[in-house]
């Protein structure tokens, strides 16, 4: 059993595919890049945006910031709520809370967006904190976000703690912060990616995830 569970947001609690991929497409249009479909852009779900843009398109620092601004133009106006909670997530959170498990969100998404999304879906009451990066890119590595969330929960935080997410960044960040990482397969990562990153366990459903956290 774990006393504290930290959850990734995109691909773990909610399915943000439509909003994120549309926002990325909007940003790329300014560079004359025309993706054939939104499915080509699902790799942007999960990793820090700046990191993903540089890796995928080799953008300079200046072009990266220009693309981030284009992304936010769409995301703030529309894309933030082109999103949906995965089936079974609210019930799983209710059950964990009833078992006394404390919970937090640790996402690479800017914290100001993450807090609005979690509140929009009525999930904010489950979490001690919704932690993310800053708009200027500070604290974008998942390990940094996890440590920030742990500090915010406070010295009385229950242990052991676990990080739950759908991508390798979540599992690697958990290891950097000295805790287990549990992968989930309903997001955008793959079982192979999660296992290769060193996931302590992998859940295929929210019900199975409840069992892995609460015993």
The pairs formed by 91-98 with CB atoms below 8 angstroms and a separation of 24 or more are 91/206, 92/206, 92/207, 92/209, 92/210, 93/123, 93/126, 94/126, 95/210, 95/214, 96/5, 96/126, 96/210, 96/213, 96/214, 97/126
From the candidates 8, 15, 170, 180, which is the catalytic residue? Answer: 8
What number of helices (H) and strands (E) belong to the chain?
9, 8
In whole angstroms, give the CA distance from residue 194 to residue 188.
11
HSE on the CB side for 115, CA within 13 Å? Answer: 10
Q: Is 8 a catalytic residue?
A: yes
CA distance 114 to 49: 14
d(CA 113, CA 2): 28
Q: How far apart are CA 26 and CA 70, in angstroms?
A: 7
For the chain, what's the residue count?
215
* Rounded-to-integer distance, Cα 191 and Cα 197, Å: 10
Which residues are annotated as catalytic?
Answer: 8
């Amino acid at each position: 059993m774990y006393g504290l569970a930290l959850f990734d947001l995109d691909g773990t609690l909610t399915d943000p595919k439509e909003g994120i991929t549309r926002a990325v497409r909007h940003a790329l249009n300014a560079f004359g890049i025309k993706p054939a479909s939104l499915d080509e852009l699902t790799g942007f779900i999960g990793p820090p945006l700046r990191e993903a843009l540089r890796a995928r398109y080799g953008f300079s620092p200046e072009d990266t910031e220009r693309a981030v601004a284009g992304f936010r133009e769409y995301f703030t106006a529309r894309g933030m709520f082109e999103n949906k909670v995965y089936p079974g997530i609210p019930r799983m959170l209710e059950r964990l809370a009833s078992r006394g498990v404390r919970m937090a969100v640790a996402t690479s998404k800017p914290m100001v967006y993450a807090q609005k999304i979690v509140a929009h879906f009525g999930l904010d009451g489950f979490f001690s904190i919704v932690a993310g990066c800053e708009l200027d890119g500070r604290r974008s590595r998942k390990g940094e976000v996890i440590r920030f969330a742990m500090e915010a929960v406070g010295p009385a935080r229950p242990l052991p703690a676990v990080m739950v997410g759908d991508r390798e960044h979540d599992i690697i960040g958990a290891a950097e912060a000295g805790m287990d990482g549990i992968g989930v397969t309903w997001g955008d990562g793959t079982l192979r990616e999660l296992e290769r990153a060193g996931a302590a366990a992998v859940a295929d459903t929210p019900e199975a995830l409840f069992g892995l956290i609460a015993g």
